[in-house]
């Protein structure tokens, strides 16, 4: 019999029962909540007179709607305010731990889970948010769910699930200097497409992935969903264990030793068989920039905006034309000739300490270009912010002309006041360049934190490797 | 949940791939704490020429006449015909809520994003995967015939054209059952509460750190 994949191992350990109709009841170890996708779920519990099955398995935080400046004024947008207040009330009513807006531990839900050690290897982790895939970096099975499932997970500590297929993406070789996890995952999405991973759980493997820090692995798993996969995974190794050690919810003492020996099993067996294998050469990659309205519309910084006239497939050609029209771009324009209005460094993809260090390294001693109206740096959590300030990164950013803000989702999806105006063009370290994502009519280009900082300084896209 | 009934419905073609949940229901409407009332904001940025905000009265907003849902011939459509990777992007269940509230019961596409696909079933909405060639054909036929309707039979798992051609589709048995009967899934799962508790007890012994109490 063939060996087991990492996915098989976690899945098998969590099956409570299997039904003859093909569904499994999967036990859920951890559940993260935020203000946007939970109110209707709590309302459902209330209406049915139900209680959370195990309240301590839940952790909640407001992140999507919170302002990133002048917090002492509270939330001025009334609708946002109601949603955040509703979360506070629901958490206190149902006995769920919450880090409210002015708690230093508050931040983007996918940043605080790992930061607190709430995310641990081998767990099943869910959240009413598609970027829950982020937590897969720890060798945990983590995926986004809808609000009905949020209610189901709260009430039963389980979900009715069907096992997905397995894919392994092996990134061979070493990433060149100035090329980061974000570039690697964008290149992968460019290769397999935004539906390439639909129906699969993707395990990221290979030398380039092993070499990544935990932050880098989180960036990759975060965007597994942009490749169509509900979950991404990276096998556990010494880096995983070192990252977890000593965190608030991590085991300690004798339990720590037991946990570590269990976690060391969390790798795919050598003879495991995947439904699909994909390989790419990481050593050949250059910094990536998206040009269109889907993350798969991506090229290297040295390239130009693709020309739809050269696309043989009609549906794809139409898609490209629509994207170029929305983005206000001419085919064959060199990427480095595209000027920008705003720059956003943040989001659950790239707002951890390592991301801020790399961006600060580029910004240090330089100035944001005059044509940039706003260059925002939004740390992923209060603790990331604190750490960055201890290292003096805030001073570097401020001196260069960046805005240094309070933690939250911010301009990743513009549910708060941080947004693009119609027609504005932005270099963003977030994960989605969909129409209107960062504000109605806004034009988003996805890049790494280093590339975003470089674009802020230059006023247009530029190869950050020349600035390092 | 309402059980799913077979329908004979008018079809509206939405001819673009990768329609994401941000397009289906833009984020400003996610600030609502309710489950209902999203239909009038469905595809808001494509449907209206002005910028929509929650609680807005939509009856006087300027319509984008180009957008397919605004064409009078598609009024009352219950079946949405779409392209690849429909529903990609965020996990927001507001997307199926909006489609359902607008009046859609069925979405046909060559492929769907996983979370969206799953969310549909929780809301009495049936997503049907048909191969690309068939979907191309349905697009052509819908565009050619003003009163084009399709029959959708979930029990039999078939889509039937006005000319009487049948196309079979796949659906997981557990999802089909839940949709046909309009089951309360939480109630069903709680019938297995003993098994969940037994699993939990075993895990608590094997891996106690999973149950850290804060
Ligand atoms: S940062 Fe962006 S992608 Fe991440 S949870 Fe917030 S809104 Fe979603």
Query: In this structure, is the dihedral angle defined by the CA atoms of residues A413, A414, A416 and A418, taken in order, positive or negative?
Result: positive
Determine, yes or no, domain membership for B203. Answer: no
Q: Which chain B residues in 43-82 lie under 8 Å from chain A, judged by CB atoms? A: 45, 51, 54-55
Q: Pick from A341, A352, A347, A219: which is nearest to A288 by CA? A: A219
Helix (H) or strand (E) holding A14: helix A6-14
Q: Any CB–CB contact under 8 A between B142 and chain A?
A: no
Helix (H) or strand (E) holding A40: helix A39-48
Q: Any CB–CB contact under 8 A between B17 and chain A?
A: yes
- 3-class secondary structure, B198: helix
Q: Any CB–CB contact under 8 A between B181 and chain A?
A: no
Residue B212: the pLDDT is 75
Would you tell me the crossing angle of helices B114-121 and B94-102 to the nearest 10 degrees?
Answer: 50
Ligand 1 pocket residue status of A64, Cβ below 6 Å: yes
Q: CB-CB: which of B51, B54, B123 is closest to A79? A: B54
Q: Pick from A394, A130, A195, A9: which is nearest to B95 by CA? A: A130
Match 């808001």 to its residue by tokens: B44
Determine, yes or no, domain membership for B111. Answer: yes
Report strand pairing: A24-27 vs A97-98: unpaired
pLDDT digits (tens, 9 = 90+) for A70-112: 998 999 998 999 999 999 999 999 999 999 999 999 999 999 9
Quickly count: other Cβ atoms within 10 Å of residue A313's Cβ: 9
Backbone angles phi, psi at A16, to 5 degrees: -85, -45
CB contact (8 A) between residue A152 and residue B18: no
The pTM for the full model equals: 0.95
CB contact (8 A) between residue A198 and residue B111: yes
CATH number of B131's domain: 3.20.19.10
Residue B55: the pLDDT is 86
Mean pLDDT within B99-121: 96
Determine, yes or no, domain membership for B180. Answer: no
Residue B214 scores a pLDDT above 70: no
CA A248, CA A267: separation in Å to the nearest integer? 25
Closest residue in B to A437 (Cα) is B22
Determine, yes or no, domain membership for B156. Answer: yes
- Cα distances from A310 to residues A301, A307, A316, A335, in angstroms, run 20, 6, 11, 18
pLDDT digits (tens, 9 = 90+) for B147-169: 999 999 999 999 999 999 999 99
Q: Pick from B144, B141, B143, B114: which is nearest to B127 by CA? A: B114
Report strand pairing: A24-27 vs A15-18: antiparallel
How far apart are the CA of B12 and the centre of ligand 1, in A? 32
Measured between beta carbons, which residues in chain B are less than 8 angstroms from residue A198? 85, 111-114
Closest residue in A to B93 (Cα) is A146
How far is C-alpha A342 from the geometric centre of its chain's CA atoms? 21
pLDDT digits (tens, 9 = 90+) for B7-60: 999 999 999 999 999 999 999 999 999 999 999 999 999 999 999 998 899 999
CA A399, CA A385: separation in Å to the nearest integer? 17
CA A411, CA A376: separation in Å to the nearest integer? 9
Ligand 1 pocket residue status of A129, Cβ below 6 Å: yes
Measured between beta carbons, which residues in chain A are less than 8 angstroms from residue B122? 146, 148-149
Strands (E), A4-157: 15-18, 24-27, 30-33, 58-60, 97-98, 124-127, 141-144
Closest ligand 1 atom to the C-alpha of A130? 8
Closest residue in B to A15 (Cα) is B199
CB contact (8 A) between residue B92 and residue A36: yes
Closest residue in A to B189 (Cα) is A156
Q: Which residues of chain A have pLDDT under 50?
A: none
Torsion of CA A187, A190, A192, A195, to 10 degrees: 130
Return the percentage of chain B with pLDDT > 90, whole number.
Answer: 91
Q: Residue B75: exposed, middle, or buried by beta-carbon count in 10 A (0-12, 13-18, 19+)?
A: exposed
CB contact (8 A) between residue B22 and residue A432: yes
Report strand pairing: A58-60 vs A288-290: unpaired
Q: Which chain A residues in 149-178 lie under 8 Å from chain B, judged by CB atoms? A: 149, 151-152, 155-158, 160, 162, 164
- Concatenate the DSSP letters of all residues of A176-200 into one string: PTT--HHHHHHHHHHHH-TTTTTTE
Determine, yes or no, domain membership for B214. Answer: no
Residue A232: the pLDDT is 98
What length is written for chain B? 214
Q: Pick from A336, A340, A417, A338: which is nearest to A372 by CA? A: A340
Determine, yes or no, domain membership for B197. Answer: no
pLDDT band of B213, cuts 50, 70, 90: low
Token pair listed for A80: 């946002």
CB contact (8 A) between residue B189 and residue A294: no
Ligand 1 pocket residue status of A34, Cβ below 6 Å: no
Domain encompassing residue B119: 7-171
Ligand 1 pocket residue status of A412, Cβ below 6 Å: yes
Determine, yes or no, domain membership for B103. Answer: yes
Mutate to test the interface with A, among B47, B114, B195 (most CBs of A within 10 A): B114
Counting the structural domains of chain B, the total is: 1
Determine, yes or no, domain membership for B133. Answer: yes
CB contact (8 A) between residue A152 and residue B186: yes
Return the percentage of chain B with pLDDT > 70, whole number.
Answer: 99
CA B61, CA B54: separation in Å to the nearest integer? 13
């Amino acid at each position: 019999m063939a060996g087991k994949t990492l996915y098989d191992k976690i899945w098998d350990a969590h099956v409570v029962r299997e039904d003859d109709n093909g569904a499994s009841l999967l036990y859920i170890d951890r559940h993260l909540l935020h203000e946007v996708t939970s109110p209707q779920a709590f309302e459902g519990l209330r209406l049915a007179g139900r209680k959370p099955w195990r309240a301590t398995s839940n952790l909640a935080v407001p992140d999507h709607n919170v302002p990133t400046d002048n917090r002492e004024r509270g939330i001025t947008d009334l609708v946002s305010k109601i949603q955040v207040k509703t979360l506070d009330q629901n958490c206190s009513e149902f006995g769920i731990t919450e880090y409210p807006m002015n708690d230093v531990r508050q931040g983007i839900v996918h940043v605080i889970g790992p930061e607190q050690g709430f995310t641990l290897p081998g767990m099943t982790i869910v959240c009413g948010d598609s970027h829950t895939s982020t937590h897969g970096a720890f060798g945990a099975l983590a995926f986004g769910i809808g609000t009905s499932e949020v209610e189901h997970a709260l009430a039963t500590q389980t979900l009715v699930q069907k096992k997905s297929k397995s894919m392994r993406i092996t990134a061979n070789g070493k990433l060149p200097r100035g090329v980061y996890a974000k570039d690697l995952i964008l290149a992968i999405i460019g290769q397999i497409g935004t539906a390439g991973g639909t129906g699969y759980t993707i395990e990221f493997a290979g030398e380039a992935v092993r070499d990544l820090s935990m932050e880098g692995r989180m960036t990759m798993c975060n965007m597994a969903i942009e490749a169509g996969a509900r979950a991404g995974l990276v096998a556990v190794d010494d880096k995983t264990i070192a990252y977890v050690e000593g965190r608030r919810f991590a085991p300690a003492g004798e339990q720590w030793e037991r946990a570590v020996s269990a976690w060391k099993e969390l790798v795919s067996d050598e003879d495991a068989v995947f439904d699909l294998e994909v390989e790419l050469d990481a050593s050949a990659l250059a910094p990536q920039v998206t040009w269109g309205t889907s993350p798969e519309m991506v090229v290297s910084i040295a390239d130009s905006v693709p020309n739809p006239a050269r696309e043989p497939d009609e549906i794809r050609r139409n898609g490209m034309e629509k994207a170029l029209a929305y983005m206000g771009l001419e085919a064959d324009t060199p990427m480095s000739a595209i000027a920008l209005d705003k720059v956003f460094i943040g989001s659950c993809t790239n707002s951890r300490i390592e991301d801020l260090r790399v961006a600060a390294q580029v910004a240090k001693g330089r100035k944001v270009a005059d044509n940039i109206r706003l260059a925002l740096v939004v740390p992923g959590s209060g603790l990331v912010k604190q750490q960055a300030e201890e290292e003096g990164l805030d001073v570097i950013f401020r001196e260069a002309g960046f805005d240094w803000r309070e933690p939250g989702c911010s301009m990743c999806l513009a549910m708060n006041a941080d947004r693009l105006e119609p027609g504005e063009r932005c270099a963003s370290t977030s994960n989605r360049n969909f129409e209107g994502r960062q504000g109605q009519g806004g034009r988003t280009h996805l890049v790494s934190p280093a590339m975003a900082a470089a674009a802020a300084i230059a006023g247009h896209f530029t190869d950050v490797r020349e600035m390092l | 949940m309402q059980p799913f009934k077979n329908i004979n419905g008018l079809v509206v073609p939405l001819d673009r791939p990768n329609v994401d949940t941000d397009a289906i229901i833009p984020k400003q409407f996610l600030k609502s704490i309710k489950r209902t009332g999203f239909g009038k904001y469905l595809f808001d940025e494509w449907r209206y020429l002005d910028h929509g905000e929650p609680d807005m009265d939509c009856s006087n907003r300027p319509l984008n006449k180009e957008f397919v849902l605004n064409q009078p011939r598609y009024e009352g459509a219950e079946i949405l015909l779409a392209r690849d990777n429909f529903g990609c992007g965020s996990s927001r269940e507001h997307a199926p809520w909006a489609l359902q509230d607008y009046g859609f019961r069925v979405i046909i596409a060559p492929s769907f994003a996983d979370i969206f696909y799953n969310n549909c079933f929780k809301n009495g909405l049936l997503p049907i995967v048909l191969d690309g060639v068939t979907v191309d054909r349905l697009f052509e036929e819908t565009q050619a015939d003003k009163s084009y309707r399709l029959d959708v039979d979930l029990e039999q798992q078939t889509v039937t054209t006005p000319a009487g051609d049948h196309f079979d589709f796949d659906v997981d048995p557990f999802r089909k059952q839940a949709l046909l009967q309009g089951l309360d899934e939480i109630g069903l799962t709680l019938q297995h509460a003993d098994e969940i508790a037994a699993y939990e007890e075993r895990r608590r012994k094997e891996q106690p750190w999973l149950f850290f109490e804060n």
